[in-house]
Chains A and B, each alone.
Chain A
């Protein structure tokens, strides 16, 4: 155990600091947007951002070094300087393209995605296929040099704004379900696609229904081979996995909750003096600290190139459980404010720590969306039980649904 970064990184940290000193915030009246773009470009040139993306696709192509990456996050974070764009295309599509796509596909899509010039949505879930994603039915048929797509996606976050969709479609109807899926890249702005927003329980509408009626995309806009879509969609980021940031986010939110309990008064006294609230917060802190140290432990294992083991399968459920406990505790703290409508804050603002009852009410609801998105708690428990503990596989999972 050694919780310092080691002497050899002092120099590196100093370099990052002096870079920030010179470049952030932007000088000379540049707008924050323009300034942000220029800053990112400068940071890429210095090797601080998009470290695992090759130079020819707009990245800085650095050797994997988790500690350097963490130092950059810390220093940039402290100065509120722009980091990588955290859109879904950047987080989910780009790693997939780098790992699996053909050269021309990488050239065409990676750089503009990295730069935020094109945005993406993820077309996986369908009305009949959520947890059982591989049963999806949206059809893709090759007609001449185009895929013709018919069917429907649902819960598609940001489909309204997105330029492109990375999408799972069934192209091989006659083989077992996992083997009949292809991974297509589909332009969103076309007559064959209709997007209808879905209003969420918190009042905002970030996810959507997407209807395909003879929608089209060029035949070569497929990542991997026909029928390999399932495998392709499982590709994840290989290096510099950011296991600390998520846990740090939970810790920051928890500190926000403690502040909320200090600031909120009941009978003229701060709620944090209430023994029950104190106990609840202290219970929560146990989970939050555990989560943080688990992040550090995985970070260390990653840096050493070792497998962190079962803990890596627990991150999502542990963090959404904490999110749920935080949400409930905030209701306990706010008392009668729990009768209010939440302030309508979207997903984009979720990284920001709530402040005030209405923002906490939004988190009270949104924490549930986060728990469902990307695999429900039960699905996580299946993964922990089967892959982690080695219990028998669920026989339903591999059953062909006959669709």
Chain B
């Protein structure tokens, strides 16, 4: 019995945290926020060199061949640092092809995705809250037609894994004709989203796409939970730091018990949920019959906690907390992304209730 991460996994987390802290401190995140770029090629290149782009790509295709838990731990660390860029969508594209692709598709795409030469993304959502595979209406028999919303970094992606009715998942190259990318004014400016309109765009179905689609959704839920965990812990740390420095009434504000208790409650809300996303990630690869439900529980619980903590964090900073200047907003918005993407908590609570046979 070992409900803990390994030394290598701790090292992975530490290394990534350090990297983001050094290469993309809040001042830099803010520049990206303000420029609307949401993309820092040098920063992403560094991640790629560390092997982050191919963490879950099988070794025979040039990746590290790791598991969802490793990917989720990376997501937590990147979120803690507030890292910009396409890690989320790219990682899901790698997973989709690994899970559902033919040998030829894997050989064609995975090596490039693992080395970062190619960028991948996933188009899952459809208007009206249709995030779940069984709700997808965009057609993908032979060619793709219809609109997909909230596609991460679609404008830069080389290949997009598109969720469709029927075959489940298909591959579309962004440069194919009949693919139109319309930028979407997203709240989290370091993880920009686009709407992608397909009109008879050429596609290639993943042979195991129908089975891989819900798995891909579950992996997405776990990564969002991990991201929200990283964001929420960062916000708690920021508030504690602020409370140790900001003075009012002649003492640092951390002396005031009301505030101390607010900060304790925030920590109490998030810290115990670490194991939720660990377990869901572990289950994805090792306890298949609990994978779907544990992913739903982790996403619903942690992204909800992160939302409340992000609101509390603004209050704990006073007036400055409400400003564009204050770093709180960077993680506040990250938490909003994590909560809404792939469906808000209530959606996954109802799913987990059904899966439990309630």
A to B contact number (C-beta, < 8 Å): 153
Q: Which A residues lie at the B interface, using CB under 8 A?
A: 1-6, 67, 70, 258, 261-262, 272, 275, 278-279, 281-283, 285-287, 289-294, 296-297, 299-301, 303-304, 310-311, 314, 317-318, 321, 378, 380-382, 384-386, 388-392, 394-395
Q: A1-B5, A3-B282 are in contact. Are A381 and B254 (CB under 8 A)?
A: no
Q: How many residues of B contact A (CB 8 A)?
A: 44
Q: Choose among B268, B287, B353 the residue that contacts A318 (Cβ–Cβ < 8 A).
A: B268
In the docked arrangement, what's the CA distance between A287 and B271, Å?
Answer: 11
Chain A positions within 8 Å of B356 at CB level = 258
Contact with A along B312-344 (1 / 0, CB 8 A): 000000000000000000000000000000000
Chain A positions within 8 Å of B350 at CB level = 275, 278-279, 282
Q: Smallest CB-CB separation from B302: which chain A residue? A: A286
Cβ contact within 8 Å between A297 and B3: yes
Cβ contact within 8 Å between A289 and B263: no
Cβ contact within 8 Å between B244 and A300: no
In the docked arrangement, what's the CA distance between A304 and B278, Å?
Answer: 19
In the docked arrangement, what's the CA distance between A292 and B276, Å?
Answer: 9
In the docked arrangement, what's the CA distance between A87 and B279, Å?
Answer: 34
In the docked arrangement, what's the CA distance between A395 and B353, Å?
Answer: 47
Chain B positions within 8 Å of A1 at CB level = 2-5, 69, 278, 282, 286
Q: Smallest CB-CB separation from A5: which chain B residue? A: B1
Cβ contact within 8 Å between A384 and B2: no
Chain A positions within 8 Å of B263 at CB level = 385, 389, 391
Chain A positions within 8 Å of B2 at CB level = 1-3, 300
Interchain nearest-CB distance for B276 vs A (Å): 5
| 10 residue pairs A–B, Cβ–Cβ below 8 Å | A290-B275, A293-B279, A299-B3, A301-B4, A311-B272, A384-B267, A385-B264, A388-B264, A389-B267, A392-B244
In the docked arrangement, what's the CA distance between A129 and B232, Å?
Answer: 37
Q: Choose among B240, B255, B300 the residue that contacts A390 (Cβ–Cβ < 8 A).
A: B240
Interchain nearest-CB distance for B255 vs A (Å): 5
Chain A positions within 8 Å of B297 at CB level = 282, 285-286, 289
Contact with A along B251-271 (1 / 0, CB 8 A): 110110100110111011001
In the docked arrangement, what's the CA distance between A378 and B278, Å?
Answer: 30
Q: A293-B275, A385-B263, A391-B243 are in contact. Are A285 and B257 (CB under 8 A)?
A: no
Cβ contact within 8 Å between B3 and A381: no
Q: Smallest CB-CB separation from B305: which chain A residue? A: A286
Tell me if B308 counts as interface (CB < 8 A to partner A).
Answer: no
In the docked arrangement, what's the CA distance between A7 and B244, Å?
Answer: 49
B:87-113 near A, CB below 8 Å: none
Chain B positions within 8 Å of A294 at CB level = 271-272, 274-275
Q: Choose among A67, A282, A311, A321 the residue that contacts B1 (Cβ–Cβ < 8 A).
A: A67
Interchain nearest-CB distance for A77 vs B (Å): 16
Q: Which 7 A-B pairs have the closest CB atoms?
A: A293-B275, A286-B301, A282-B349, A296-B3, A384-B264, A385-B260, A381-B264
In the docked arrangement, what's the CA distance between A317 and B269, Å?
Answer: 10
Tell me if B358 counts as interface (CB < 8 A to partner A).
Answer: yes
Cβ contact within 8 Å between A286 and B273: yes
Tell me if B132 counts as interface (CB < 8 A to partner A).
Answer: no
Cβ contact within 8 Å between B1 and A290: no
Q: Smallest CB-CB separation from A386: which chain B residue? A: B260
Cβ contact within 8 Å between B349 and A283: yes
Chain A positions within 8 Å of B143 at CB level = none
Q: Choose among B3, B273, B286, B358 the residue that contacts A290 (Cβ–Cβ < 8 A).
A: B273
